[in-house]
Structure 1
């Protein structure tokens, strides 16, 4: 690896850690998760794979599917898998970058979808266009392909999608006589959304929870970018060369001013409690699929509505994905692993375990819960309005700039000047890739 490439990798590691947080812990692997190397057979292609540690059920699902892959490909391919610590902070990315510098990246790896372009540009992961069939590719929802594509080449595939919907407390809505929209066509406009949020705000209850307690990081970009997209704006130019006139353009400024008004009107708390929505201290919540799980565990009667919009409905997307390392000696065999971990059976099983929407159209057709409310809202957004975060190698800096600006709006700062300052940062980073 060249000195320039090593320098980029170091810079990427720093930026990824800044975007994900500063909660450093030692990396660990799950004991017993690796396949016994003493079982090697002659002529077997042996591959290494990293998966991120998540919830116990999700992690066990990954390990089970890998065991089933090894059984199905006995005598042909065998995966040695490591479950690597993912603390929601820096540990997983820390491990990936350390392995890269040491020259021992796994053949197949999991990575956070929005960072695909960064790894692709650094030649850490390899394109898979020559392996995936047109029929298989067509079955993935568009946002998964958008997330995994850089410079017109496909690098990653995800087994699950995600979305942010507007959750609401049915009991409170009934008391207030508010009827929730049930289709994207009937989604609330910004004005309608603000009016309802004000109506629902009382001395002891907020109208809306934006989960600001998640901290200044990727959540703000993931949850907040549709405010810009639905207002006709973009975070970056189509060719990926500049954010000037986009992140700080009139559509973006107007969107950030709207976010600012939510706080100025007092309908959102900057410091909500962890269970503000579930405990009834917020009537609505703009949250991910995991909120359905916590609401159900709290025994609350909740519903889902589409993401509110300005000019055209847009919704967030993106999650963990699989990619092949450029260090892989057997990329075709590695792709078979990717294909297995993202096939219909894997996608459906993962959705059932995590509550996240599936990444394949065929899976949506097979899963009845996504054909009826409330989850139909999530399905419709994934299929119709999902918008992938920008695929640019400068994404680590861009997402931090967005998050900082979003937080500044919550603090009441001026949108135009804040965005102009953040654009200066991102433009400086983009110059490294525009040469």
Structure 2
């Protein structure tokens, strides 16, 4: 009954109105129909995608595209319900980490044979990495995300610290701690770092698992049949989270209850992403700097991943669905969506043309990190929602004083139970892997 109610609810989601359709379009009876679902995100994103669909239809009058918006908060639940009822669309948008459940369950059509080689070589490697599951490509995004360290140039220069010029010059853990201490000595309350502790949900895995990976640990052993125990609670991961806990214990981290610690000048450094740039730029002007995250080991690691598109197994014409996806990945279309939501353009050709992410742009570091191999996709397993929730709970415990080894050990055991209960997600027959 619950599934039925969700599916019925899905049919009530808003579709793109028909006003403004190109008069050159063929009568509906003579058109091919392409059904797509997208998350109802920011208004600018919705307007942009609607305009993109209209531009595609103007080029392809023989195609009718029906676009349905689904509320972001209930998106995964409604998609799962529709999948059980065999009611998925041709082209489906989903948040990156959910791809692996959909692919494992057999709901997605592999894209390897549909993706043109020139487009494949133009895509950022992070886009291809996120969309791959068991050596097959199932998803493609038109934008990616950027994660780094925002800094107040004047505050850094006032205490004479070295400013990294790229991901290869990231501060080591020891240097970063020294920077925090020097900044704290010149700060009235000694709180100089914003970790976005006011954020919730996926933020903690996205933002802080790169520290585990930089140290040589991870959320889970990524080899087939790999477990979390010995990796998430291994010495490298514990060391990384012990460092984070020490920043908090020493009073170097602002609790950021009002989400304004950096913009109002209470702190000199802020963990954050590409979405912070407009507000931070307005507050700091030319004093705003974008730096790589500190490295816990030999190399810096950063987060990646955002919404993607996939073609479902239910699609009557996968090639037609791929035509629309290819259209959305044209440089002008990628730049249009990047302008709407601030995300990192998914293709190198679009990045070169981007005022924000191009070689001279203020956000170029985000593009470099994704293109040069510093980004790590979140674990590509259907267990990811449990992995993320377990780590997020462990982070909160560590933040409030729990021994990192104890908190991470508890999280690892929970993840291992999930993996064991599902027999480590063996390949399904329809997966073809």
State TM-score, norm by structure 1.
0.88
SS in structure 1 of the partner of residue 65 of structure 2: strand
Task: Identify the residue that residue 398 of structure 1 maps to in structure 2.
Answer: 387
Could you list the per-position Cα deviations for residues 127-155 of structure 1 after superposition, in whole angstroms to 9, with x for gaps in the alignment?
11121122221211111111111111100
Please, which runs of 5 or more residues in structure 1 have no aligned partner?
A: 1-5, 14-24
Task: Identify the residue that residue 174 of structure 2 maps to in structure 1.
Answer: 191
- Separation in structure 2 between the aligned mates of residue 349 and residue 156 of structure 1, nearest angstrom: 20
Task: Identify the residue that residue 262 of structure 2 maps to in structure 1.
Answer: 277
Matches within 5 A, 1:260-409: 260-298=245-283, 300=285, 301-310=287-296, 311-369=298-356, 370-372=358-360, 374-384=362-372, 385-409=374-398
From 61, 66, 69, give the equivalent of 2:53. 66
SS in structure 2 of the partner of residue 78 of structure 1: strand
**8 Å contact kept, 2:152–2:284:** no
Which structure 1 residue ranges, 4+ long, deviate > 6 Å from structure 2? 33-36
State TM-score, norm by structure 2.
0.88
Deviation at residue 27 of structure 1 after TM alignment = 7.7
CA RMSD of aligned residues (A): 2.6
Please tell me whether residue 152 in structure 1 is matched to residue 135 in structure 2.
Answer: yes
Deviation at residue 313 of structure 1 after TM alignment = 1.5
Could you list the per-position Cα deviations for residues 134-192 of structure 1 after superposition, in whole angstroms to 9, with x for gaps in the alignment?
22212111111111111111000000011211101123223333342122222111111
Task: Identify the residue that residue 231 of structure 1 maps to in structure 2.
Answer: 215
Deviation at residue 68 of structure 1 after TM alignment = 0.5
**8 Å contact kept, 2:168–2:299:** no
Please, which runs of 5 or more residues in structure 2 have no aligned partner?
A: 427-433
Could you list the per-position Cα deviations for residues 301-344 of structure 1 after superposition, in whole angstroms to 9, with x for gaps in the alignment?
31111111022111111010001122222222111122222232
Please tell me whether residue 425 in structure 1 is matched to residue 409 in structure 2.
Answer: no
Please tell me whether residue 108 in structure 1 is matched to residue 96 in structure 2.
Answer: no
SS in structure 2 of the partner of residue 156 of structure 1: coil
SS in structure 2 of the partner of residue 206 of structure 1: coil
From 77, 81, 85, give the equivalent of 2:71. 85
SS in structure 2 of the partner of residue 165 of structure 1: strand
- Separation in structure 2 between the aligned mates of residue 48 and residue 164 of structure 1, nearest angstrom: 33
- Separation in structure 1 between the aligned mates of residue 203 and residue 89 of structure 2, nearest angstrom: 28
- Separation in structure 2 between the aligned mates of residue 429 and residue 34 of structure 1, nearest angstrom: 48
SS in structure 2 of the partner of residue 224 of structure 1: helix
**8 Å contact kept, 2:16–2:66:** no
Could you list the per-position Cα deviations for residues 176-227 of structure 1 after superposition, in whole angstroms to 9, with x for gaps in the alignment?
3334212222211111111112222333462111111012x21101111110
